[in-house]
Each structure stands twice: as C-alpha cells, then as structure tokens.
Structure 1
Amino acid sequence: MLIDGFGRKHDYLRVSVTERCNFRCQYCMPEKPFSWVPKENLLTYEELFKFIKVGIDEGIKKVRITGGEPLLREELDVFLKMIYDYKNDIDLALTTNGFLLSKVAQRLKDSGLKRINVSLDSLNEATAAKMAQKNVLKTVLEGIEEANKVGLKIKINCVPLKGINDQDILEVLEFCMEKGYVVRFIEFMENHHAKDGAKGLNSDEIKEIISQKYPNFKTVPRDTSSPAQYYEFENGFQFGIIEPHKDDFCASCNRIRLTAEGYLIPCLYFEDAMSIKDAVQNNDIDEAANILKKVLANKPEKNKWSTKDENETSSRAFYETGG
C-alpha cells in the first residue's frame, strides 16, 4: 500500500508517454514549436511497464495514459495490452484531445482500455480552432462518436477561458447531456507555458452561467477519490467542476505521475521530482520501488494554487505531465 506523509492512500498512477502534441491550446503550450524530445531520451514501453508493475504490486488500481497527446506515440495499444495482461481488472484509462481517436478507438478498446477523457472546449468551429490553433472540431467529434460506438466510457473535459470560450459552456454541457457523457469544467491552472494574459473562470462563475438556464441544481456529496465536485440537475444529469484553487482538491489526492522521460512527480504543482530512469534501465526494481516511496514521502500537503496567492504560477509544463 502506498501512503504519503499525510496519510493519503495512493492507488492512481498517471503515465505520460510523450510530451508531443498536435494542438497548441491557449492554456497549455500555445507558443511551443512543433518539436519533440529525442526518442532515445524517452523510456521504452517495456521500461515504463517495469515501473507500472511495481506500482500495481504496491496497490495501484488505476492507470491513466496521458501526454502531450498520447495517440501520437506509435503502438500505444500494444502498451495498453501489456498492462491489461498483467492485471486485467486494472482501471485502464486514457486522456486525449480526440483528433486521432476515430482511427484507433477499436484497437484501444480491444487492448483493454476502459475509459477515455476527451478535451472539448467548444462546439463552435471557429472558437475550437482559436483554442487549439488548428481546425479540429469535426475530427474530434468523429473521434468521440467512434469511441462511444466501440463501447468506451466517455468523459468530456472543458477549460473555460474568459473572452474565448466562456460563452460556450452551456452548449458543451447540453451536448453531453444529450449524449449521456460526463462533463467536467476545469478551472484554468496558471502556468508559465500558457498564453500571456489567459484568464480562466472560477467555479462560481461557471455555476452562474449554468444557473442562468438551469437554476435548480444541487451539490452532490463529494466522492473523495475524484478531483471534481459534482452537481445534479432535476433530471438526474450531473456535471463536475475541478477546482485546483481549493484545498479540497488536494485533501483526498490519490495520484502520482510518471513522465515519458522517467521523472516521478508527486504533485501537479510541485517543482521537485525524482527519476526512476536509471533504476528501470538497470532492471533494479527494488531501487525503483524505493524511489517511489521517497517521492511519496516528499509529497506536499497541497499544491501552490491553493495558497490563495493570485500570483502563483506553475513553471511545470503540463504537456509533460498530462495535467
């Protein structure tokens, strides 16, 4: 069992397989050139898998594959199958921008993938293109439809930014309500790699927009394993809001992150990390397990956004850690 210094049980591992992305979203990496880390700097699937096995043996029950955009890395379905074959009841999930999803959804499902989270920041073609700096909407919607068709469970993630897609919140919500998808609105997490001047909507502002059309929703008792606070309409439909600026985002944190280059990160907004690269490349599994326990011992009680300092801005590149 993986317990940190504050008594939190960790059973959720997020694994970034690449920092590359085919979008340039305003809140993530709008100015980054289209380049990538040399392949030889990345852990192979086999090396990543060595560490994932350590995590599973220590109590990890959920593995989420992230990026960058994970579908840019070839043979991802083979990697998923490695994890599934090791423990076929693992909760195996994927976060994606959906652009390449329609072509691989069936293979992903067949390899053991159970669930996907897809970024959908607008249903307006021009706004979606402005957010991603690429004409993406039609292809993303096709990917979501195909994923649904093959039987993957779907969550939609939306990051509302003031003056860009804040007027699209209701449309995204109603799209998910009609399709039966879970939708979560994510407060913008300030970081040095985002568009200069980008401003997000906080939870109260998001709820105010929704209440203009749907005034009667209630707070759902919080699931301590979820980063989102959910709200329920009279028809039973629920939407979530992820609020990194509140302490309760951290109080029940059960997540730890591994980058494609082998850095083990205890907290999304915490600059320290330790590398397990040498350990897995030397097949020193005991050392990899020790590093995991050291990282957990150093995990902070809460991220820096929750300090209530409006000037707090993370230098962490979310395209390396999967958000």
Structure 2
Amino acid sequence: MLIDGHNRVVDYLRVSVTERCNFRCQYCMPEKPFSWVPKENLLSYENLFKFIKVSIDEGVKKVRITGGEPLLREGLDAFIKMIYDYKNDIDLALTTNGYLLPKVAQKLKDAGLKRVNISLDTLKPDVAQKIAQKDVLNKVLEGIETASKVGLKVKINCVPMKGINDGELVDILEFCKDRGYTVRFIEFMENHHAKDSAKGLNSEEIQKIIASKYNFKPVKRDGSSPSQNFKLNDGYEFGIIEPHKADFCSDCNRIRLTAEGFLIPCLYFEDALSIKKAVESDDIEKAVEILKKVLKNKPEKNKWSEDSDGETSARAFYKTGG
C-alpha cells in the first residue's frame, strides 16, 4: 500500500504518454507552437510499463492514460494491452479529446481499455473552433458515439468558460443524460499557459445555471473521487470538479507520471523527481525509492483553494493530462 506524507492512500496513477496535442484550447495551451519533445527524450512504452508494474505491485488499482492527446502516440493499444495482460482487473481508463477515437476505439477496447473520458465543451461548431482553434466538433461527436458503440464506458468532461460556453451547460447536460453518459463540469484551473482572458465558472455559478431548469441535490462524495456529484429528480447524476474548494485535496489518491519520466506528486505544483534513469537501467529498487520519496513530499493541498490568494499555477497541463 502506498501512503503519502499526510497519511492518504495513493492508489491511482495517471500516465502521460505524450505532451503533444492536436488542439490548442484556450484554457490549456493556446499559444504553444505545434512542436514536440524528441522521441529519444520520452520513456518507451516498455519502460513506462516497468514503472506501472511496480506501482500496481505497491497498491495502485487505477491507471489512466493521458497526454497531451494520448492518441497521437502510435501503438497505444499495444501499451494498454501490456497493462491489461499484467492485471486484467485494473481500472484502466483513457482521457482524450476524442478527435482520433473513430479510427481506434475498437482496437483500444480489444486491448483491454474499459473507460474513456472525452472533452466536450460545446455543441456548437463555431464555439468549438473558437475554443480549440480548429474545426473539431463533428469528429469529437463521432468519437464519442464510436466509443460508446464498441462498449467503452463514456464520461464527458466540460470546462465552463465565461462568455464562451456558459450558455450551453444545460444543453450539454441533456446531451449526456439522453445518451446515458456521465458529465462532469470542471472548474477552470488558473495556469500560466492558458489564454490571459480565460475566465471560468465556479461550482456555485454552474449549479445556478443548471438550477434554472432542473432541481437536484448533492450526493455524498464517493471516497477519493475529485467530483462532487448531484442527482436530478429523475435519478441522473452529474458532477462538478471543484479544485477551488478547501476540502478538494483532503482525500487525494493520485500521482502522475509524465512521458519524460517525471513523477509529479500534485497537479498544481512543479515539484517532480525523475524515474527515467532508474527504469532504463532496470533499477527497480531505485524507482520504488523515488516513488516513496515523492509520496512523502506530496503537498497537503493546492493553492487554487478559496482560502488561498487565488494563485496561478505554473504547471503545464498538457504534460500531465490534468
């Protein structure tokens, strides 16, 4: 069992396989050039898998593949199969923008993938183009539909932004409700890489918009889930991820590994240690030592919370997958 310095059980590993992305979303990386880290700087799938194996042996129960946009890295289905074949009851999931899913959803399902979280910030093509700086909506919707058809469990992520998609939150909720998808609205996490003018909605503002049409009540938080869920009268549940709430970090069970081998204890902070040399040299004991050191130094909470000064993170989310 993995325990951090604040006595929290850590059983969830998020693994970024690339920092590359085919979108340039306003809340993430709008100004970053379409460039990428040289392949030789990245951990191979085999070396990523060495660390994932160790993590599973130490108590990790959930592995999520992220990016950047993870589907941009070739051979992802083979990597997923490595994990599934090692422990087929692991909670194995993928976060994606959905654009490339139509061509690969079946391969990913056959490899052992169980769930996908897909970003859907709007149902309007012109708004999608404004957010992603690319004509993306039709492909994303096709990706969502294909993933569902092949039997992957679909969850939708939406980042509400003031003056951009805040008038569509009920429409997005209904789109998901009608199709049996869970939707989670994510408070915008202020970061230096986002567009300067980007402003998000907080949980109370999101709830107020949904309350204009629906009655709902909060549901008891599910363990270490980052989402506060709410239930409509008809039983449908939606979630809001609230990193600005003071208690958001109290049950954090996550740790992140970047494609270059940096082990990150907290999404907000830049602090990280590299396991690259350890896994490349098959020094698994050293990798475990680094893992436990990172856990020991895992911060108690981020600095987005309401009781902070509302600081902006320097974290590049395209390297960690959020």
The answer to whether the superposition gives a TM-score over 0.5 is yes
Offset at residue 225 of structure 1 (A): 2.2
The residue type equivalent to 1:18 in the other structure is T
SS of equivalent residue, structure 1 residue 53: helix
**Residue 171 (structure 2) aligns with:** 171
The residue type equivalent to 1:32 in the other structure is K
**Residue 246 (structure 2) aligns with:** 247
The residue type equivalent to 2:301 in the other structure is K
Alignment RMSD, CA only?
Answer: 0.7
**Residue 117 (structure 1) aligns with:** 117
Confirm or deny: 8 A CA contact 2:303 2:309 kept in the other structure: no
Q: 1:218 to 1:67 in 2, by over 3 A?
A: same
**Residue 279 (structure 1) aligns with:** 278
**Residue 257 (structure 1) aligns with:** 256
**Residue 235 (structure 1) aligns with:** 234
Offset at residue 271 of structure 1 (A): 1.7
Confirm or deny: 8 A CA contact 2:304 2:310 kept in the other structure: no
SS of equivalent residue, structure 2 residue 185: strand
SS of equivalent residue, structure 2 residue 230: strand
Offset at residue 309 of structure 1 (A): 3.4
Which residues of 2 match residues 168-317 of structure 1 at below 5 A? 168-214=168-214, 216-306=215-305, 308-317=307-316
**Residue 59 (structure 1) aligns with:** 59
Offset at residue 168 of structure 1 (A): 1.1
Task: Identify unmatched segments of 5+ residues in structure 1.
Answer: none
Offset at residue 261 of structure 1 (A): 0.2
**Residue 105 (structure 1) aligns with:** 105
The residue type equivalent to 2:82 in the other structure is M
SS of equivalent residue, structure 2 residue 293: helix
Q: C-alpha separation between the residues in 1 aligned to 2:220 and 2:51?
A: 35
The residue type equivalent to 1:304 in the other structure is K
Task: Identify unmatched segments of 5+ residues in structure 2.
Answer: none
Q: C-alpha separation between the residues in 1 aligned to 2:12 and 2:236?
A: 26
**Residue 142 (structure 1) aligns with:** 142
Q: C-alpha separation between the residues in 1 aligned to 2:144 and 2:164?
A: 23
Q: C-alpha separation between the residues in 2 aligned to 1:231 and 1:3?
A: 30
Offset at residue 248 of structure 1 (A): 2.0
1:102-140 alpha-carbon deviations (Å, 9 max, x no partner): 100000000000000000000011111111111101000
Offset at residue 311 of structure 1 (A): 4.0
Offset at residue 190 of structure 1 (A): 0.2
**Residue 159 (structure 1) aligns with:** 159
**Residue 32 (structure 1) aligns with:** 32
The residue type equivalent to 1:88 in the other structure is N
Q: C-alpha separation between the residues in 2 aligned to 1:249 and 1:83?
A: 29
Q: C-alpha separation between the residues in 1 aligned to 2:73 and 2:319?
A: 14
Percent identity, please: 75
Q: C-alpha separation between the residues in 1 aligned to 2:284 and 2:52?
A: 11
Q: C-alpha separation between the residues in 2 aligned to 1:305 and 1:86?
A: 37
Q: C-alpha separation between the residues in 1 aligned to 2:160 and 2:212?
A: 17
Q: C-alpha separation between the residues in 1 aligned to 2:49 and 2:246?
A: 33
Offset at residue 247 of structure 1 (A): 2.3
1:239-274 alpha-carbon deviations (Å, 9 max, x no partner): 000000112210010000000000000000012100
User: What is the TM-score with the length of structure 1 in the denominator?
Assistant: 0.99
Offset at residue 310 of structure 1 (A): 4.5
The residue type equivalent to 2:67 in the other structure is G
Confirm or deny that 1:16 pairs with 2:16: yes
Offset at residue 156 of structure 1 (A): 0.1
User: What is the TM-score with the length of structure 2 in the denominator?
Assistant: 0.99
Offset at residue 224 of structure 1 (A): 1.7
Deviates more, 1:11-20 or 1:222-231: 222-231
Q: C-alpha separation between the residues in 2 aligned to 1:112 and 1:308?
A: 42
SS of equivalent residue, structure 2 residue 128: helix
